[in-house]
Amino acid sequence: MSCAAIVLIIGGCGGTGGSSPSSVEDRAAKLTAESLAVLTPAPNQAVERTEWSPCSEDTPGVHRFSYERVIHLSVDKAASQPVFDQELAYWGKQGYVLDPQEPNNPTRSARPYKNDADWSVGVGFDNDGQMFLSVDANCVHVSSDPKTS
């Protein structure tokens, strides 16, 4: 992702097994709420988007989709360091695996589930300078095809 954000993407496809699309959405909402709850003072926030998209990889008989939940945070860049500090401290305390920071990119992300690389949370700035938190489920196996945009 080219901007700083907290992102949660959840994905999957129809077929045998897999998580229901609603359970993926619920899991993303829970991770989002937990990450937002640690921010003090709590910034104004708004859901920017919740979106399903099909994955390019094809596994016969398995449906894989990605889900992304992005929350816009009303935080100026000049006042953003406490948000980064609080999120990184929370993720570390929870045992999340922090992703390496890319040079010249303030976005930070982490993997909340050590044995599940499909999920990530992130915080950063988009190309318009808006701070965001995101949760992503990337190409997860779902029990049925979700509605895509």
Place of tokens 């406490």: 82
Strand partners, 13: 63
Q: State the burial class of residue 139 (Cβ atoms within 10 Å of its Cβ: 0-12, 13-18, 19+).
A: buried
Confidence category of residue 28, pLDDT binned at 50, 70, 90: very high
pLDDT at 3: 37
Domains with residue ranges and CATH for the chain: 8-141 (3.30.2030)
pLDDT at 138: 92
Confidence category of residue 83, pLDDT binned at 50, 70, 90: very high
Q: Tell me the pLDDT tens digit for each residue of 3-18.
A: 334 343 333 333 457 8
More confident residue, 147 or 86: 86
Q: Look up residue 104 and give its two tokens.
A: 């010249």
What's the rounded mean pLDDT across residues 11-39?
Answer: 83
Q: Tell me the pLDDT tens digit for each residue of 128-143.
A: 888 999 999 999 999 9
Q: Cβ neighbours of residue 42 under 8 Å, at least 6 residues apart?
A: 36
Query: Residues 6, 35: contact at Cβ < 8 Å?
Result: yes
**How many C-beta atoms surround the C-beta of residue 105 within 10 A?**
13
pLDDT at 95: 92
**Beta 119-125 vs 108-111: how paired, if at all?**
antiparallel
Please give the Cα distance from 3 to 122 (Å, whole number): 10
Strand partners, 67: 137
What's the rounded mean pLDDT across residues 78-104?
Answer: 93
